[in-house]
Structure 1
């Protein structure tokens, strides 16, 4: 079976965010699918947590025939890390400016216990949303695409940040895409995570390289697929 790229979006996003990247993968003859994480929801009360996200990523992997290249952006790196530890069909884990946390650490702990001051909390206290997404998440992205992406942002469930990472793979090769101009996730930290990876790529991008540098990210995923085929 040919490998499939399974894409995991970041906090507040939907699978739509990967449409430009998936178009390029299709043009390269590569099958892909994108997960909708339960932690991201237009209704703050319905937004779930990390454990539900992991279950959804695992279900997506199990729904694929053949090997899987699992690629995740930002927060999506957390459920993807856990899922890759549980699913032996994953041949490579690709972090796209994504969090590669240690087991036992939560996003909230990594953030120092607090959210960025520009984030908005829902009235029910169950979810958060970035208030400065144009600058923090979509810097360097085409303005028309940015406007559409901001319009589509959801609430992100609080438990996505408070639940701790339960597992990480020990035998799955890692690839890291470092966004060298990322205002949201410090590039120096991304470099630390990239140093542990078997393969890495640096792009002069803000926090969304899959949007601003979709060709380069697609080419990197094509290389991961080629390795899976071997």
Structure 2
């Protein structure tokens, strides 16, 4: 190879390397434009309730975090979720199931990174409203009779569980019986006080919201879901025909889809 050919080859290689160096940050920046999806579970469940939804979101390139929800009090639970949100850089789509809706309605308050709220069979309380009050606002909830004997807590108050024998029908009627039986054993209790805690904030007044719920929800009446969605000015409301309270387990594709719809607006 002549000296001129070698010189031209070095120039071409240098140019290609320079382009790669320039392109790499651009690709990285492009990947970072997707908002982080933060999932908050509800009462009588845990973060594994999102297991069907998480892979679908990750497959679309979304960073996903399922944060713990202690189910002790709206104020305390929201403070812990709010602390987790502060550790996340960039836009956030905050998703709550059931009582987790009360938590995200408070945790998002004052955090400019939270661009969208998604309520999955969840409470969206007004300031001063409790989960228990919203559930009783319309007929249809059969949660009370399905509860097991309360467990007295050492510091006062009670922990609430769903009776394992009634769990499948009450909580997850459209989930296979064997799976529901495991969920019943592993359910996380919620304090009676938490269900009666008045919400301090209603973040959905300032942050766009999306709603999805099942028409056969026995924990929160479907009428209550429709009422909360309309009141919040929901950008999209999906009522899944025949779905139970755990719509994210029985219909993870539809839940993932509405989360993606919300996320699509988070960076606009």
- Say which structure is richer in helix: 2
Task: Confirm or deny that 1:66 pairs with 2:90.
Answer: yes
In structure 1, C-alpha distance between the alignment counterparts of 2:135 and 2:229, rounded to whole Å = 19
- Determine helix, strand or coil for the equivalent of 1:116: helix
1:33 corresponds to which residue? 65
Post-superposition CA distance 1:69-108 (Å, at most 9, x none): 0111111100111112232211111111111122112234
2:56 corresponds to which residue? 24
Pairwise mapping of residues 90-169 of structure 1 onto structure 2 (< 5 A)?
Answer: 90-111=114-135, 116-120=144-148, 121-124=150-153, 125-131=157-163, 132-169=166-203
- Say which structure is richer in strand: 1
Structure 1: which 4+ aligned runs deviate by more than 6 Å?
none
**Unaligned ranges ≥5, structure 1:** 40-47
TM-score when scaled to structure 1?
0.89
1:44 corresponds to which residue? none
Match of 2:214 among 162, 179, 189: 179
**Unaligned ranges ≥5, structure 2:** 1-31, 137-142
In structure 1, C-alpha distance between the alignment counterparts of 2:261 and 2:77, rounded to whole Å = 27
In structure 2, C-alpha distance between the alignment counterparts of 1:7 and 1:24, rounded to whole Å = 13
Tell me the C-alpha RMSD between the 2 structures.
2.0
Query: CA shift at 1:208, angstroms?
Result: 0.8
2:223 corresponds to which residue? 188
User: Is this contact kept in 1: 2:119–2:211, CA < 8 A?
Assistant: yes
In structure 1, C-alpha distance between the alignment counterparts of 2:43 and 2:96, rounded to whole Å = 11
User: Is this contact kept in 2: 1:178–1:194, CA < 8 A?
Assistant: no
TM-score when scaled to structure 2?
0.77
- Determine helix, strand or coil for the equivalent of 2:43: coil
In structure 2, C-alpha distance between the alignment counterparts of 1:150 and 1:135, rounded to whole Å = 11
Compare CA radii of gyration and give the structure with the larger one.
2
RCO (CA 8 Å, sep 6+): is it higher in 1 or 2? Answer: 1
Query: CA shift at 1:68, angstroms?
Result: 0.6
In structure 2, C-alpha distance between the alignment counterparts of 1:153 and 1:176, rounded to whole Å = 24
